[in-house]
Structure 1
Amino acid sequence: MAKKIALVCDSTADFPPGMAEQLGLNILPVHIFVNGKDHLHGKTISNAEVLKNLRKKKEVYTTPFYPFECTQLYDRLLQKYDEVVSFHLSKHISGNYKSACAARQFMGEKEAGKVHILDLENVAVSLALVVKKAAELLRNGTSPASLEKTLEPYKKNAFLSFTVDNLVWLKKGGRVNAFDAFVGNMLDFKPIIELKEGRLSPIDRHRGKKPALKRLVSMAEEAFNRFNGKCEILMGYAGNLEEVMVTREKLAAAVGKPADSIPMAEAGATISVHTGPGSAFVSLLPSQT
C-alpha cells in the first residue's frame, strides 16, 4: 500500500486562487505585526489588509512561525499520514526553514524521522511553482526522502523577477539605503530585482514604471526562450491588478500564449511588506530539467 504523505507549506508561497487547496497543502501562517499587534497571515489578517496598513504608513513587519507551531501541526498530521513533507522559502530571506527544523527537536525520534523539511530557495510566486512541481513529483512516485535531490535543478533554474512602485519599502527592509531611496523616488527610479541563489538582488533600474515593466516582460521572454517554451508562468500583483493584467497581455503576446493561460496570484504579506503596494512579479519554472 502506498504511503500517505501530508504536504505542508508556509504562507509565503503565493498561489493563484484554489491551487493550494487543489494540491492538498496544509498552510503554516507566518506572523504579521501591525503597530505591535500580532496577526496570523491568512487567518486573522488578509493580504489586502496588509496592503491597506502599509498605505496608512503603519508599522508592519513579519516574523517566522514558532517551532512549537510546526511541532503541533506535524504531530497532528502524523496521526493520519505516514510522512510529512514541509516546504519553505529561502533561508536567506526568512527564518521559516530554521524554525521548522527546530520543531523536530520537540518531537520523538521516530516521529521526527517521518518529517522532511525542504528549503526550496524561492519565494512568493516562484515558491508556489516549485511547490506545485514537488507535489507533482510526489504523485508520480518520487519518495519524500529523494525529493530534495530531484527538485534541485528546478530550484536552481526557477526564474523570479519583480519591480516596485516606491523605494521606501525596500529601504525599510534594508535592500537600499535611505539616500538611494530618497534620490530614487525623486527621480522616479524603479529597480528590477531578481532571485539569484536564494537571495533577492537588484540588477537594474529604470526611470518610470512603464520601462521597468517592459524590462520585466523582456526578461521573462528571455527565460521562456531559455526553457524552449516548456515552462510554467505565474505572475503576481500587490494591489495593482489592472496594471499587472496589462503587463500579462504584453508577456503573452511576446511568448505566443493566450493571456488567460498565464495565472495570476495576489502577493502575500511576506514579500509585500518589503516591496510595498504596486509591486509586479513574474516567475517561470521549466517543465523538465
Structure 2
Amino acid sequence: MNVQILVDTACDLTEEQYKTYGIERLPLTVHLAKKEYRDGIDITPKKIYDAMRSGESPTTSQVSLQTFQTIFTTYAKEKHALLYLSFSSELSGTYQTAKMMEQQVLEEYPEAELHVLDTKCASIGYGLVAIRAAKLANEGKSMEEIIETVQYHTKHMEHIFTVDDLKYLYRGGRVSKTAAFVGSLLKIKPVLHVDEGKLIPIEKVRGSKRVLKRMLEIMEERGTDFENQIIGISHGDDIERAKQLAEMIKEKFPVQDVLIEMVGAVIGAHSGPGTIALFFLNNDYK
C-alpha cells in the first residue's frame, strides 16, 4: 500500500491537482465578515481579494487539533502509511498542532507509520514539494525515500516575492507603519524571500516593471538546473503580471515548465491582492 501524502491548503494547489496526484488536504480557515470559511472549499481567493480591496480585513486560523486526531487515527487504525507535509511552522501554528497529535496517536498506535514534516514552505513552493512527494508515493517509494527527497526539496526551494501594497504586510507585523506609508507614496515594491520558513526582506525596488526584472535576476543568481524542474509562480489576483513573469522566464531560461496558480485565500489574506511570488530550486533537481 502506497504512502498517502497529506497537506493543508496553504500549498495553493487546485482541485484537479489534488485528484491527479492523489493528495489529501486539510483546509485552513478564513474569517470574513463574521463568518468562517474552509479555504479552497467554501470560499475562493477571488472573494478574499475583492473584500480586501473594499477595505475588509480577513483573518485566518489553523487546522484544529480534533481534525488532526480524526485523520491520524483513521490512518493508524487502517495501518495505512501517512505523511503530512505542513505549511511553514514560522508562518502558522498548524505544524506544532500536528506534531502534538502525532505523538498522541503514536502512543495509542505505536506501530502506525505516521510522520509529520515541516516544509518551511508556502504557496506553490509548498505545492511543488507536495507534488514531488506524491509522485514518489505513486511510484511505490518507501516512507524513508520520500522523506529524504522532500527534505532536500524543502531545503533548496527558493521563495522570491513582492507585494502590491505594503499595508497588508504592515497589518501582519512584517513592516513598520512608516515603511508602509512611505513605500506606498513612492511606489516602492519590496522584494522578499523565505529563509528557514521566515519572511525576510531582500531589497526595495521602485516600480512594478522593475521588480519583475529584479526577481528574474535573483532567479539567475540563485537558481540552477532549470531544465529539469518546474518553476512555480503564484499571484494575488493578477494573472497578467504572472503571465508576464512566466514569459520572461521562458525567454531567459530552458525551464521544463512554469506552473501558475493564484495565491490561496489563507496566504492571500496576509499578502494582499497584487502579490507575485516565484519558486524554484537553488540546487539540482532530485
TM-score in terms of structure 2 length: 0.91
Which residue matches 2:168?
169
Structure 1 residue runs of 5 or longer lacking an equivalent are: none
Q: 1:105 to 1:228 in 2, by over 3 A?
A: closer
Separation in structure 1 between the aligned mates of residue 90 and residue 168 of structure 2, nearest angstrom: 18
Separation in structure 1 between the aligned mates of residue 149 and residue 242 of structure 2, nearest angstrom: 33
Which residue matches 2:236?
238
Q: 1:112 to 1:206 in 2, by over 3 A?
A: farther
Which residue matches 2:16?
18
Which residue matches 2:258?
262
Number of residue-to-residue matches in the alignment: 284
| 1:108-135 superposed Cα distances (whole Å, 9 cap, x missing partner) | 6216833211111111110011111222
Which residue matches 2:150?
151
CA shift, 1:17, in A, is 6.1
Larger displacement relative to structure 2 (106-115 or 190-199): 106-115
Separation in structure 2 between the aligned mates of residue 43 and residue 112 of structure 1, nearest angstrom: 33
Which residue matches 1:60?
58
CA shift, 1:228, in A, is 5.7
* Secondary structure at the counterpart of residue 10 of structure 2: coil
* Secondary structure at the counterpart of residue 47 of structure 2: helix
Larger displacement relative to structure 2 (61-70 or 14-23): 14-23
| 1:160-180 superposed Cα distances (whole Å, 9 cap, x missing partner) | 111111001000111101111
Separation in structure 1 between the aligned mates of residue 175 and residue 113 of structure 2, nearest angstrom: 41
Which residue matches 2:279?
283
Separation in structure 1 between the aligned mates of residue 165 and residue 122 of structure 2, nearest angstrom: 20
Which residue matches 1:7?
5
Separation in structure 2 between the aligned mates of residue 151 and residue 182 of structure 1, nearest angstrom: 40
1:18-167 matched pairs, under 5 angstroms: 18-78=16-76, 82-104=80-102, 107=105, 109-110=108-109, 113-145=112-144, 147-167=146-166
1:218-237 matched pairs, under 5 angstroms: 218-224=217-223, 226-227=224-225, 229-237=227-235
Q: 1:57 to 1:118 in 2, by over 3 A?
A: same
CA shift, 1:141, in A, is 4.5
Which residue matches 2:198?
199
Which residue matches 1:271?
267
Q: Is the 8 A contact 1:16 1:264 kept in 2?
A: no
CA shift, 1:137, in A, is 2.9
Q: Is the 8 A contact 1:68 1:106 kept in 2?
A: no
Separation in structure 2 between the aligned mates of residue 105 and residue 78 of structure 1, nearest angstrom: 12
Which one-letter code corresponds to 1:167 in the other structure? L
Separation in structure 1 between the aligned mates of residue 19 and residue 79 of structure 2, nearest angstrom: 17
Larger displacement relative to structure 2 (278-287 or 173-182): 278-287
Separation in structure 2 between the aligned mates of residue 54 and residue 228 of structure 1, nearest angstrom: 35
Larger displacement relative to structure 2 (37-46 or 199-208): 37-46
Q: Is the 8 A contact 1:221 1:254 kept in 2?
A: no
Separation in structure 2 between the aligned mates of residue 210 and residue 277 of structure 1, nearest angstrom: 17
Structure 2 residue runs of 5 or longer lacking an equivalent are: none
Which one-letter code corresponds to 1:269 in the other structure? A
Separation in structure 1 between the aligned mates of residue 144 and residue 65 of structure 2, nearest angstrom: 22
Separation in structure 1 between the aligned mates of residue 111 and residue 43 of structure 2, nearest angstrom: 31
